[in-house]
């Protein structure tokens, strides 16, 4: 399984780099929105929505929200959406503490999960657009934000494998350990320190950027756990079968959905990302 996951990742990396570094922000925003439509489709399945027509309606609703958010070309609106995402992920921490909440397949729980899906997808899209448009290195800042998540994932895997004993959330995701969390923070700090320096952050903001990375990693862990919780409620192993060895798009981007709004607002807080 590790070999299959590695080979799939090696094939996906060039595509991801092209999408991040190649096109301008309007094309990038459209590509990300299209990819997130797959995430919305998988989320409706995890939420217990069986009707194909209703699932297509959720896709249309997401598309309309994205188009409505893009049309004014107002970064302040995108920033507000990213902030809404941060508030949602703070609320999600409480859901992890009461992980049985919403588990019953009732219409009320299904509607709550569908609403949560919009707070997962839309703010992440808005945050990525905000970061990508930063002048003059928005493409690279976007890459750095995603690299933080990727490095955290790798650091967590190896730290958990060699040092992991104490479980992080055994009722939700038995494979995650506190050693993995520490490994994620260390790996992300190394990546953001080097990346920030290469992007010209040489003053006190570099320390601030490392703090932003720490909050970004914490959010990515919450995102990973929430998707694991959704799969447990739905009694599913993977959200989909798009990527061999990796599962569905949600299985690959669960951490990204949570991390990007935090990273975007963190860049704004340390005066890297203007909202004008």
Taking the domains of the chain in order of start, what are their residue ranges?
2-269
- Indicate whether 5 pLDDT > 70: no
* pLDDT recorded at residue 247: 75
Q: What is the pLDDT of residue 204?
A: 86
State residue 185's pLDDT score.
97
pLDDT of the residue at 80: 96
pLDDT, tens digit, 9 for 90 and up, residues 106-164: 999 999 999 999 999 999 999 999 999 998 899 999 999 999 999 999 999 899 988 98
In the chain, % of residues over pLDDT 70: 95
Q: β-strands 167-169, 173-177: how paired?
A: antiparallel
Q: Is the pLDDT of residue 245 over 60?
A: no
Question: For position 117, what pLDDT does the model report?
Answer: 96
Mean pLDDT over 256-262 rounds to 97
Q: Tell me what the mean pLDDT of segment 186-215 comes to.
A: 95
pLDDT at residue 181, rounded to an integer: 96
* pLDDT reading at 170 higher than 70: yes
Which pLDDT score, from 0 to 100, does residue 1 have?
56
Looking at residue 123, its pLDDT comes to: 98
Q: Is the pLDDT of residue 9 over 70?
A: no
Q: What percent of the chain has pLDDT over 90?
A: 77
Give pLDDT tens digits for 75-117: 999 999 999 999 999 999 999 999 999 999 999 999 999 999 9
When pLDDT is cut at 50, 70 and 90, the band that residue 252 belongs to is confident
pLDDT at residue 65 in the model? 97
Higher pLDDT, 9 or 204: 204
């Amino acid at each position: 399984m590790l070999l299959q996951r590695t080979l799939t990742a090696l094939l996906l990396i060039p595509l991801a780099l092209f999408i991040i570094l190649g096109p301008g922000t309007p094309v990038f925003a459209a590509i990300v929105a299209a990819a997130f439509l797959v995430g919305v489709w998988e989320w409706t399945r995890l939420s217990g929505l069986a009707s194909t027509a209703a699932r297509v309606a959720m896709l249309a609703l997401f598309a309309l929200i994205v188009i409505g958010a893009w049309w004014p070309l107002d970064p302040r609106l995108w920033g507000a959406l990213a902030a809404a995402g941060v508030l949602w992920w703070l609320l999600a921490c409480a859901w992890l503490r009461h992980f049985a909440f919403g588990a019953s397949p009732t219409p009320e729980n299904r509607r709550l999960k569908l609403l949560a899906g919009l707070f997962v997808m839309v703010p992440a899209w808005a945050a990525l657009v905000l970061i990508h448009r930063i002048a003059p290195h928005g493409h690279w800042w976007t890459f750095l934000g995603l690299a933080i998540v990727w490095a955290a994932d790798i650091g967590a895997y190896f730290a958990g494998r060699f040092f992991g004993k104490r479980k992080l959330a055994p009722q939700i995701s038995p494979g995650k350990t506190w050693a993995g969390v520490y490994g994620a923070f260390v790996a992300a700090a190394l990546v953001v320190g080097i990346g920030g320096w290469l992007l010209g952050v040489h003053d006190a903001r570099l320390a601030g950027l490392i703090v932003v990375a720490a909050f970004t990693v914490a959010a990515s862990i919450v995102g990973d756990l929430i998707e694991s919780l959704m799969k447990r409620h739905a009694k599913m192993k993977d959200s989909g079968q798009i990527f061999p060895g990796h599962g569905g798009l949600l299985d690959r981007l669960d951490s990204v959905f949570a991390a990007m709004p935090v990273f975007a607002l963190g860049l704004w807080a340390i005066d890297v990302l203007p909202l004008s």
